[in-house]
Amino acid sequence: MSPLATGRLDGLFQALADPTRRAIVERLSRGPASVSDLARPFDMSLPAVVQHLAVLEAAGVVASEKVGRVRTCRIEPAALSRAEQWIHARRTAWEQRLDRLGDYLAANPEEPS
């Protein structure tokens, strides 16, 4: 993986490390929402929610657009797809290792003492 891709992936996982940001992503997975709607369930100020959204936007997870006085946010599926691909590759590698271990243990049963 290139250093640029690694940096993007690091930023993505850092953005998703916070439970508030994960909750925002979860909400946006159901469809676009205004910043006010996103802020409503949280016990924090609107500027604090805006800061969380800025982190998600910097990581490429969320995009927003302003129409008049309303800023609407939406999820960027491509960013989450990169994380999914990385996780899938790790899972596949470990499954192959465990399969080889299973084959070895099946071919070399332990003799009873």
Where along the chain do its domains lie? 3-107
Q: What is the pTM of this model?
A: 0.73
Cβ(37)–Cβ(76) below 8 Å: no
Residue 113 reports pLDDT greater than 90: no
The dihedral sign for the CA sequence 1, 56, 32, 19: positive
**Domain at 3-107, CATH from 1.10.10.10, 3.10.20.30, 3.40.190.170, 2.40.160.40:** 1.10.10.10
- Which of 27-31, 41-45, 58-62, 88-92 has the weakest average pLDDT? 88-92
Express as a percent the part of the chain with pLDDT over 70.
Answer: 91
- 38 C-beta neighbours (distance < 10 Å), count: 23
| Average pLDDT value for residue range 8-24 | 92
Residue 97 reports pLDDT greater than 70: yes
For residue 54, what is the DSSP state? H
What mean pLDDT value characterizes the chain? 88
**What amino acid is encoded at 96 in this protein?**
Q
Chain centroid to CA 101: 31
What is 60-79 written as a DSSP string? Answer: TSEEEEEETTEEEEEE-HHH
* Bigger pLDDT: 100 vs 33: 33
Residue 70 reports pLDDT greater than 60: yes
